Amino acid sequence: MIARILEIARLYLFTMYQSRSMLLFGFVLPLLFTFVVGQAIVGFEPADGQQSWSLAVVNADVGDLGQQLIERLNDDPSLAAVATEESEAVRQVEREEVAAALFIPADFSSRMLAGENLDLGFQMNLAEPISAQVVEQVVLAALSEVNSWLTIADSAVEIASQIGLFDTSIGVGQAEYFDDAVIAGQEALQEMPPVVVESRQGVREAESQGGIPSGVGQTSPGMLVIFTMFTVLGGAAGLLREREEGTLRRLLVMPMNKITILAGNMLGMFVVSVTQTLILILGAVYLFGTDWGNELVALAIMILVYGFSITGLAILIASLVRSYAQLDALSAIIVIPMAGIGGAMWPIEIVPPFMQQLSLFVPTGWAMRGFHDIITRGLGVESILLEAGVLLLTGAVFMLIGLWRFRYE
Amino acid sequence: MTEAILQAQGLHKKFDEVYAVKGVSFDIKAGEIFSLLGPNGAGKTTTISMLSCLLTPTEGDAKVDGFSVTGEANQVKQAIGVVPQEIALYPTISAKENLQFWGRMYGLRGKHLQERVDATLDIAGLADRADGKVETFSGGMKRRINIAVGLLHNPKILFMDEPTVGIDPQSRRRILDTVQELNKLGLAVLNTTHYMEEAQELSDRIGIIDNGELIATGTLDELIKMVGEYDTVRLCLDVDGQKIEDVIEPLKSLPEVKQVSPGEDCVMIQVPDSENILGDMVGRVTQAGAHIRSLEIQEPNLEAVFLHLTGRALRD
Ligand SMILES: Nc1ncnc2c1ncn2[C@@H]1O[C@H](COP(=O)(O)OP(=O)(O)OP(=O)(O)O)[C@@H](O)[C@H]1O
Ligand SMILES: [Mg+2]
């Protein structure tokens, strides 16, 4: 039985890799998409990468704080804040040259100092909503930092006046004192930055820790999840074609168990999916410098269980549809929505919460979750055990139903 | 009397309320070629499928090489070689790779496998095309490889389901010759066909199957005796505005005519001695206002037997 399973799997692999379309659809296209789509959603590349967002800033502030806010913004390595004219800034947003434009009003300093509410104009580039959102967060963080200096200085003035510093004729003006306090606060925050770290952390969170994956870090796992599924479904369609062309029938008149035939084909699908995954990962790493993390054991587990689960899914679908042609026609209708729901087309973090919940019902969702634990969040084996378990279990259930329902005739 | 290698006993197969095969029983002796002759949809493939353990009989059983098709499938499968009606080969790999794959599925390994692959390639006459992809082969070549696969494990009996459908006369000739050679070496054959010439020339014994029932079994001579000394006259009319029915009654009224079976634009007439009555027949038809396009006298053959038994022509 084992020998026959291996032989059927061998034939499966041989005929699969023999076809030129496998080279195109299995490897070339997914790598191409990884790169091209990766460029398109590069907006949320993490801060330590080479990529950065650009922000046009129109500074109308008559005081100094506007300029300081700009400097603050430029302290963030992922952001390039460039001061421009108002009309120019609007034009840049419209032409999608910048992620957003920030308008600092003339009374920015005075209102900040007075502790009044103020509105900053912020215009998003709607073509890149994610980038714009992240930029907005960076701006808010910088604002809160500027605000912290002022609060510190206010407190300092408060204390000074309480101890009667301004009552005497030492000659210390309250305004000068305040300015010094601001500078002192600024330096203090920079040297021992608990507050800064906290606010900056919030931004980092959005980029990498909490996980909006971006660029090839998103498209590399995304495309491999999509395209291995296509390949494996193609294999299942091939099995149905064998049923229609009579080779399956011929296998059935050979002295062996029926299950042997499906087992051999499933082994073939599994091996094809694992090799395809490996090649796509290596391709992304060496061609586009994709960071696939350092957790090789976790990665190996994810690759194996994902291959297992889509093999189960493929055999299940093959047992439900009528014909080769039907499965062939259906495969895009099956794969694309599953990829979208699971977060393989775009980061799951950008969809509304109920859609994120939905991703828990598709294997692609669990696969992407596991891959991002490794790539985006840099986590290890313990973090992917749940994902691996879910994929293994659903794969096994799909497989059993598929084996049970498959019609050989 | 040699022992039977195959005994079918009351095989029935029902597909959704309709019986495709109803009560087929026959024996095949070791070393014999047996043909199931019948029109499309007669139940030939269904019968062969039950005998090769692909379909479970609704009723009845069969023994092949002493093993039951319902209870001892693996032993039966080891004893039979099956050549399906369709070309069941992998088109994108070579003839040799196909044979190697199917040989391994039969459990053949190593040197023995190699020997059998070479031997069956020789039988198919395609040793020189062994490395060619099957998809590049002609229809006849594919059929030959299709048969070769059924011979890989040296079966005791070969089942062939319409092995010569849709191929050119030379390839057909070749295949029939090959089957006869193999038969001389002791291989029993169960062949299905709707070509009466093929059944007639190839078979030791013939079973005529129609509507799921085996309506006659015997050697060619035995079957022909059933129609007695009748000749079959095939008379075709110019159809323009002419109804076949118009000539049936006049023909039937001739005292010597035993049976008249209408077809599309021809009638089959069974008569004891055609030569004496030919003139009368032509006269009656012309009187009825019909124009004769062709007239053919056939010696007693399987076509006539089928006609005699069913009242219909084998080919419609
Ligand atoms: N799986 C099936 N389900 C329902 N009906 C079937 C099935 N297989 C065959 N039949 C019916 O059973 C009858 C016999 O079919 P079968 O294929 O055995 O005929 P055949 O003699 O091999 O014909 P042909 O010369 O066309 O191959 C036909 O009426 C066919 O429609
Ligand atoms: Mg048939």
What are residue B260's DSSP bridge partners? B269
Residues of A with CB under 8 A from a CB of B: 3-4, 7-8, 11, 14-15, 18-19, 245-247, 249-256, 409
Interval A378-398 mean pLDDT: 93
CB atoms within 10 A of CB A309: 28
pLDDT in tens, A89-103: 888 888 888 888 889
Q: Residue holding tokens 């992998």?
A: B90
Task: Residue count of chain A, please give it.
Answer: 409
Q: What is the pLDDT of residue A20?
A: 83
* Residue with CA at minimum distance from ligand 1 atom 30: B41
Does pLDDT of A280 surpass 90? Answer: yes
Q: Please name the member of B52, B75, B85 whose beta carbon is closest to the beta carbon of A253.
A: B52
Short-list B190, B193, B239, B223, CA closest to B307 = B223
Backbone angle region of B158, left / alpha / beta, with phi > 0 → left and psi within -120 to 50 → alpha: beta
Q: Find where tokens 């999916």 sit.
A: A273
Contacts of A3 in chain B (CB under 8 A): 104, 109
Query: How confident is residue A307, by pLDDT bands cut at 50, 70 and 90?
Result: very high
Find the CB nearest B88 among A14, A19, A250: A250
pLDDT at A135: 81
Residue B87 has pLDDT above 90, yes or no: yes
Give residue-wise pLDDT tens across range A17-56: 888 888 888 999 999 999 888 887 765 444 344 456 788 8
| Over residues B9-32, mean pLDDT | 94
* ipTM, interface predicted TM-score of the complex: 0.84
The residue to which tokens 């070509």 are assigned: B195
Q: What is the DSSP string of chain B?
A: -PPEEEEEEEEEEEETTEEEEEEEEEEEETT-EEEEE--TTSSHHHHHHHHTTSS--SEEEEEETTEETTT-HHHHHHHEEEE-SS--S-TTSBHHHHHHHHHHHTT--HHHHHHHHHHHHHHHT-GGGTTSBGGGS-HHHHHHHHHHHHHTT--SEEEEESTTTT--HHHHHHHHHHHHHHHHTT-EEEEEES-HHHHHHH-SEEEEEETTEEEEEE-HHHHHHHTTT-EEEEEEE--TT--THHHHHHHHTSTT--EEEE-SSEEEEEES-HHHHHHHHHHHHHHTT--EEEEEEE-S-HHHHHHHHHSS-S--
Asked if residue B62 has pLDDT above 90, the reply is yes
Mean pLDDT of the region B146-168 = 93
Mean pLDDT value of segment B283-297: 85
pLDDT of residue A196: 33
Q: How far apart are CA A307 and CA A314, in angstroms?
A: 10
Per-residue pLDDT band for B240 (boundaries 50, 70, 90) equals low
Closest by alpha carbon to A128, among A54, A69, A58? A54
Residue whose CA lies nearest to ligand 1 atom number 26: B40
pLDDT given at position A47: 39
Residue A195 has pLDDT above 60, yes or no: no
Instruction: Look over chain A and give the mean of its residue pLDDT values, rounded to a whole number.
Output: 84
Query: Which residue, among B229, B226, B221, B308, has the nearest Cα to B273 in the 3D structure?
Result: B229
What pLDDT, in 10s, does the model give residues A325-375?
Answer: 999 888 889 999 999 999 998 888 888 888 888 999 999 999 999 999 898
Averaged pLDDT for residues A287-292: 90
Amino acid A52: pLDDT: 67
User: What confidence score (pLDDT) does residue A188 get?
Assistant: 65
Whether residue A209 is predicted with pLDDT greater than 50 in this model: the reply is no
Confidence check: pLDDT of B301 > 50: yes
**What single DSSP character describes residue B94?**
B
